[in-house]
């Protein structure tokens, strides 16, 4: 009974994805902590960090698929929400350093001492508390998304115009965070983190813990997305995607539905950024770069938008390819990524998951009705 309900909730692709994540949650810690380094199945800690990064990117891809695949909002600025969540976590980690910094100041981060700041800016207050930082991880990107969405959707800005505005938003934030006067570390950003909740960030066990948290967060994000798209709200979102004007004319307040899913998506991206920062050890204004947001859209397109599972496949698969090809052919990687997007647009408009679904339907259509069945002949 439980298995049947789970299958109905996730579908076969979703169920397979959840099983794969559970297998990885068991295998990766075992391969890293238990198996000896000489073993062929041993995973180095650097590989664990890479996998954790991929999982964070998968959450970001899910957040984009929620608004693009199910509501028709093509966001080219979701990297801004990802980066804001990352900065919120980074600010907490910087406050945790205390006297262990280069300059030994118990309150001011090292970059503020270097820049001759005399006191901590007001917007840094509270970040010495973990709970406050976690609230800001979702509140900062959520608030920005709410204000931006309220203005844009009420003005009925849609299509390519909305996409351009979202790209302008993340570009403006990137330029602002590059300035030393903003109080976020300028070009260098925030780095040299020591620990989180007393756990050494360089410790092998902490790396595994962050990896497992990333898996749990990805599963939770997927469940939230499924709950939304399978509800009556989700049906309205699909109607908005397919025929926004008709949906508005029959009485739905379209802007309210779009604003809700847009804000939830931004908060989800912020959580992804917060998990990303302690694993990579740095957050800087480069994360706001519009190219990062565009690349995230490519992940969703490759995996298959409007499927959720496809976004996870694209977020993990494309970044695994990026890690390999940036080492093998670094000068050609961007051309390969652009070519991949063109190829998917022309030949795989529904992405990898859509291709598999089409093949399954064609195979089912080509199969006979069953063994020993004969067509019914009409009587004369």
- pLDDT tens figures, 201-258: 999 999 999 999 999 999 999 999 999 999 999 999 999 999 999 999 999 999 999 9
Closest CA to 231 of 70, 74, 61, 68: 70
- Using CA of residue 98, residue 187, residue 168, residue 334, what is the dihedral sign? negative
pLDDT band, very low/low/confident/very high, at 368 (cuts 50, 70, 90): low
pLDDT at 332 (0 to 100):
81
pTM: 0.92
pLDDT tens sequence across 328-357: 888 887 788 788 888 887 888 888 888 877
Q: How confident is the model at residue 262 (pLDDT cuts 50, 70, 90)?
A: very high
Q: What is the pLDDT of residues 113-161, one digit of tens each?
A: 999 998 999 999 999 999 999 999 999 999 999 999 999 999 999 999 9
Helices (H), 30-44: none
Give Cα 101 distance to the centre of its chain.
Answer: 31
Question: What's the pLDDT at 369?
Answer: 57
Q: Give how far Cα 374 sits from Cα of 362, 365, 367, 369, 371, Å.
A: 21, 16, 13, 9, 9
Candidate from 95-99, 167-171, 280-284, 373-377 with smallest mean pLDDT: 373-377
Predicted pLDDT at 44: 92
DSSP secondary structure of 213-261? HHHHHHHHHHHHHHHHHHSHHHHHHHHHHH-HHHHHHTT--HHHHHHHH
Kindly state the average pLDDT of the residues 65-85.
96
Question: 44-55 pLDDT, tens per residue?
Answer: 999 999 999 999
Task: Please give the pLDDT value at position 376.
Answer: 46
Q: Average the pLDDT over 65-70 and give the result.
A: 96
265-273: average pLDDT = 97
Residue 379 has pLDDT above 50, yes or no: no
Per-residue pLDDT for 372 more than 70?
no
pLDDT for 378 beyond 50: no
pLDDT at 1: 63
Mean model confidence pLDDT for the chain: 90
Residue 380: pLDDT over 70: no
8-state DSSP, 369: S
């Amino acid at each position: 009974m439980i298995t049947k309900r789970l299958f109905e909730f996730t579908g076969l692709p979703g169920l397979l994805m959840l099983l794969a994540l559970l297998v990885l949650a068991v295998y990766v810690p075992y391969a890293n902590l238990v198996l000896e380094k000489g073993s062929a199945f041993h995973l180095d800690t650097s590989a664990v960090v890479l996998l954790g990064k991929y999982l964070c990117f998968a959450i970001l891809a899910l957040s984009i698929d929620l608004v693009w695949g199910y509501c028709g909002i093509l966001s080219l600025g979701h990297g801004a929400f990802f980066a804001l969540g990352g900065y919120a976590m980074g600010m907490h980690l910087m406050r945790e350093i205390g006297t262990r910094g280069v300059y030994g100041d118990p309150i001011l981060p090292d970059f503020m001492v270097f820049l001759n700041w005399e006191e901590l800016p007001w917007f840094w207050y509270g970040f010495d508390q973990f709970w406050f930082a976690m609230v800001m991880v979702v509140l900062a990107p959520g608030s920005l998304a709410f204000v931006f969405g309220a203005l844009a959707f009420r003005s009925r800005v849609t299509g390519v115009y909305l996409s351009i505005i979202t790209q302008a938003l993340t570009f403006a934030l990137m330029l602002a965070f590059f300035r030393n006067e903003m109080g976020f570390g300028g070009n260098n950003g925030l780095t040299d983190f020591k620990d989180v909740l007393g756990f050494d960030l360089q410790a092998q066990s902490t790396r595994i813990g962050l990896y497992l948290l990333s898996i749990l967060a990805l599963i939770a994000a997927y469940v939230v997305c499924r709950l939304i798209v399978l509800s009556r709200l989700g049906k309205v979102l699909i109607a908005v995607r397919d025929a926004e004007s008709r949906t508005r004319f029959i009485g739905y307040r379209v802007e309210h539905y779009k604003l809700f899913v847009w804000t939830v998506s931004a908060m989800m991206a912020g959580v992804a950024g917060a998990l990303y920062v302690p694993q990579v050890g740095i957050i800087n204004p480069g994360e706001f770069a519009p190219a990062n947001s565009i690349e995230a859209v490519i992940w969703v397109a490759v995996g298959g938008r409007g499927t959720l599972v496809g976004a996870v496949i694209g977020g993990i698969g494309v970044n695994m390819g990026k890690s390999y090809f940036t080492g093998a052919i670094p000068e050609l990687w961007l051309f390969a990524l652009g070519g991949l997007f063109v190829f998917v647009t022309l030949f795989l408009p529904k992405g990898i998951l859509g291709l598999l679904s089409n093949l399954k339907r064609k195979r089912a259509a080509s199969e006979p009705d069953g063994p020993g069945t004969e067509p019914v002949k009409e009587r004369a």
